[in-house]
């Protein structure tokens, strides 16, 4: 599955240049020229990362970044801020708003692609395609294999995505609603009890390797993956 990047930039030439360059690196790109359109695409497309221009018509990129970071459903999406501003105080403002990285115009599309890869590796390893390992359980998103104690485990596609997300964020508790947003997508409407069904199936798939106890229920809150029993 391609990593999905949302490009929010009001200048069509720059928007097209970024989209063309990132498509060449294998990213699936959605584009928006203002925050209103970007907000709709975040809900519909569930991007793995947002490239966000500081100066936008109507609502600024800084304000939109703060909005995304206040929302539990979007706060985990990494943001790379683009701007012509170079003053240190302005850089700090962008980072304080929730940006994970900051690039000043003009910039090299190749450098932007490298920054995206670095940010995803840091903040969203499940989206970067990084292999994951927790307490003897390993997951390789490239070969789509899960193994423990030298033996492969058989998981369905939804259980694989659920495990991948939880392994990428160990010891963090996620509500059923948050898991729906992150694993199924924000534009998918399913009942929260569906999450319980897939958690049960995931535990059953991990049980032969005695790794089912990694998936813990936190009463009244949701689920987490933790090596501490």
* Residue 33 sits in the same domain as residue 116: yes
3-state secondary structure at position 23: helix
CATH number for 210: 1.10.10.10
CATH number for 74: 3.40.50.2300
* Residue 115 sits in the same domain as residue 151: no
* Residue 15 sits in the same domain as residue 97: yes
Q: How many domains does the chain have?
A: 2
Q: At what angle do helices 193-206 and 157-168 cross, to 10 degrees?
A: 90
Q: How confident is the model at residue 97 (pLDDT cuts 50, 70, 90)?
A: confident
* Residue 111 sits in the same domain as residue 169: no
For the whole prediction, is pTM greater than 0.75? no
* Residue 105 sits in the same domain as residue 212: no
> Quick one: pLDDT at residue 77?
87
* Residue 18 sits in the same domain as residue 115: yes
* Residue 10 sits in the same domain as residue 115: yes
Model pLDDT for residues 127-163, shown as the tens digit of each residue:
666 788 999 999 988 788 999 988 999 998 889 989 9
Model pLDDT for residues 10-68, shown as the tens digit of each residue:
999 999 999 999 999 888 899 999 999 999 999 888 888 999 998 899 998 999 999 99
* Residue 114 sits in the same domain as residue 163: no
* Residue 106 sits in the same domain as residue 151: no
* Residue 120 sits in the same domain as residue 182: no
Domain that holds residue 17: 4-128
Instruction: Please give the angle made by the CA atoms of 77, 189 and 50, to the nearest 5 degrees.
Output: 15
Which helix or strand (DSSP H or E) is residue 52 part of?
A: strand 49-53
* Residue 73 sits in the same domain as residue 17: yes
* Residue 105 sits in the same domain as residue 40: yes
* Strand segments (E) across 64-201: 79-83, 101-104, 132-134, 137-140, 145-148, 151-153
């Amino acid at each position: 599955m391609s990593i999905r990047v949302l490009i929010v930039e009001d200048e069509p030439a720059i928007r097209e240049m970024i989209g063309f360059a990132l498509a060449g690196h294998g990213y699936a790109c959605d584009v928006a020229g203002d925050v209103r359109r970007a907000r709709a695409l975040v809900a519909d497309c569930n991007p793995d990362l947002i490239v966000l221009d500081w100066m936008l018509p109507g609502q600024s990129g800084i304000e939109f970044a703060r909005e995304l970071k206040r929302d539990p459903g979007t706060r985990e999406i990494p943001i790379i801020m683009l701007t012509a501003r170079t003053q240190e105080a302005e850089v700090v403002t962008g980072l304080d708003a929730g940006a994970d990285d900051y690039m000043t115009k003009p910039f090299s599309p190749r450098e932007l692609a490298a920054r995206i890869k670095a940010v995803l590796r840091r903040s969203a390893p499940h989206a970067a395609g990084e292999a994951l390992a927790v307490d003897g359980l390993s997951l390789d998103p490239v070969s789509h294999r899960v193994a423990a104690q030298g033996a492969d485990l058989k998981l369905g596609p939804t259980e694989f995505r659920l495990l991948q997300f939880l392994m990428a964020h160990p010891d963090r508790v996620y509500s059923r609603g948050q898991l729906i947003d992150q694993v199924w997508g924000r534009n998918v409407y399913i009942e929260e009890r569906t999450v319980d069904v897939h958690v049960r199936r995931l535990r059953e798939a991990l049980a032969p390797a005695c790794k089912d106890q990694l998936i813990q229920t936190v009463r009244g809150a949701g689920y987490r993956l933790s090596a501490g029993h």
